[in-house]
Amino acid sequence: MDLSDLEKELLAYCVEDDMGLWVIIHSVFGDGYPNYPKLPEWVQEKTLQTISSLLTKELVIIGQFVEKENDIIFVPFVGISKDIVKKIKCEWTKLDRNPSLGDICWFRASDKGIQLAKYLDLKHKKIKFKLKWG
């Protein structure tokens, strides 16, 4: 299976921890996110293309955390890849700011993703974020 360097980086992250949408955006845009006032359109396009690729290859599960009976559980989104990506784009467009921690969706490696990461010996590199606090 052919994976870009970005897909390998994100898959390695998902194997070790739940990954928020903002992590993908940061990896696409680079330093300065999330402090950049309005992201260029190409960032959303590239982010959604990457998500679509990971979903189509069945390497990730996308969902959201919800409270249920005094517990927080991960609930996967249901549907085909195209519809899930469309849902993410719609929710992103509704925000009046750049997506941040907890916004829109989270990613987990699927069983197939975990196995591929092991086979490729992918290691998660810690992503360093430069944040400005008001």
Mapped to the 3 state alphabet, what secondary structure does the chain carry? CCCCHHHHHHHHHHHHCCEEHHHHHHHHHCCCCCCCCCCCHHHHHHHHHHHHHHHHCCCEEEEEEEEECCEEEEEECCCCHHHHHHHHHHHHHHCCCCCCCCCCCEEEECHHHHHHHHHHCCCCCCCCCCCCCC
Structural domain spans, the chain: 5-120
Asked whether the predicted pLDDT for residue 75 surpasses 90, the reply is yes
Identify the pLDDT of residue 72: 92
pTM value surpassing 0.85: yes
Check: CATH 1.10.3510 for 5-120?
A: yes
Which percentage of the chain shows pLDDT scores above 70? Answer: 90
Average pLDDT over residues 59-81: 94
Asked whether the predicted pLDDT for residue 108 surpasses 70, the reply is yes
Q: What is the pLDDT of residues 26-57, one digit of tens each?
A: 999 987 666 777 888 999 999 999 999 999 99
